[in-house]
Amino acid sequence: MRAEVKAVGTHIVYEVNGNGPDLVFLHAGIAHRSMWSPQVEFFSGRFRCISPDARGFGDTPIGSEPFSRRDDLAKVLDDADAEKVSIVGCSIGAGFALDFAIENPDRVEKLVLVGVAPAGFDGVDDLEAIYEEVEAAIDAGDLDRAGRLEARAWVDGPRRAEESAPEWLRDQVVEWTKPINQITDWGESLQLDPYAMYRLDQVVAPTLVIVGNEDSEFVISACQATVEGISDAALVELEGTAHLPNLEVSEVFNSTVSAFLE
């Protein structure tokens, strides 16, 4: 079921599928809510799956006023009558989930953070050169090249040869990123203060951190630091995948998350 709820300066579009305990999926910054299709199909027989498009992604407009992504998520949960939920987030979605869990500990049952880099994590980013190429491609209006570069960085991963990941997945990232890369003004996002990296000890929900062994060194280090900072957390490294393990190794990913949730 597709639904939407008003938020500051915009409306948040989300989907609800299945019945059972509430399970929220927050997408990566190179995708939108459809990236969780394999998980929604797998989990909706046992959970009520809630998958929003974050502001600026998919069907949710960015808006023009200062906003809080934590408040956006709270709006979705309130509209869906979801009082306490488990959250699965990937990449920036994992960051949003972590921030929300810190600010709203009574609303989070369990956390699954995939490829998370908490705000405030201080590490050397080994993908900076590719980011510069992506920006140059966007400035030149070559959105296809920008998407290919992002697929190289995140889907192949810096540890594997180019085009190591499945072609369908690389092509999908190109299509997902085209509208994202056309947004020139992302507005003012109100950040958690202090940043999550300095408040990991405030996370009370049992937490599973998942990272692909082909992901960037920056992300792997950030995931390790996250687990070290949360009292009830475990790290699982999945082989043969980079930043989108839920799509590249979906069966292993689903079974890993299922075992943790149940």
DSSP assignment of 115-175 equals S---TT-----TTHHHHHHHHHHHHTT-HHHHHHHHHIIIII-TTS-TT-S-HHHHHHHHH
Cα dihedral 132, 134, 136, 141, rounded to 10, equals: -170
The answer to whether 210 and 226 are in contact (CB under 8 A) is: no
pTM summary value: 0.98
Instruction: Please give the pLDDT value at position 217.
Output: 96
Instruction: Please give the pLDDT value at position 243.
Output: 98
**C-beta atoms surrounding 83 within 10 Å:** 10
What are the respective helix, strand and coil percentages of the chain, to the nearest 5? 45, 20, 40
Closest CA to 223 of 123, 127, 124, 117: 117
All domains of the chain in start order, with CATH: 2-123+188-261 (3.40.50.1820), 128-180 (no CATH)
Instruction: Please give the pLDDT value at position 125.
Output: 85
Instruction: Please give the pLDDT value at position 198.
Output: 98
Instruction: Please give the pLDDT value at position 124.
Output: 83
Closest CA to 183 of 152, 148, 138, 147: 138
Residue 168: partners with Cβ closer than 8 Å, 6 or more residues away = none
Residue 12: partners with Cβ closer than 8 Å, 6 or more residues away = 4, 5, 6, 52, 53, 55, 60, 72, 75, 76
SS3 assignment, position 186 = coil
Q: Mean pLDDT per segment of 10 residues, for the chain of length 262 residues?
A: 97 98 98 98 98 98 95 98 98 98 98 98 88 96 97 95 97 98 95 97 98 97 98 98 98 98 94
Separation between Cα atoms, residue 104 and residue 221, nearest integer Å: 26
Separation between Cα atoms, residue 150 and residue 175, nearest integer Å: 11
Instruction: Please give the pLDDT value at position 64.
Output: 87
Query: pLDDT (tens digit, 9 = 90+) per residue, 186-207?
Result: 999 999 999 999 999 999 999 9
- Angle at alpha carbon of residue 23, lines to 206 and 44, rounded to 5°: 135
Separation between Cα atoms, residue 112 and residue 199, nearest integer Å: 17
Concatenated DSSP letters of 4-55:
EEEETTEEEEEEEESSSSEEEEE--TT--GGGGHHHHHHHTTTSEEEEEPPT
What percent of the chain shows pLDDT beyond 90?
96
- 16 DSSP β-pair partners: 50
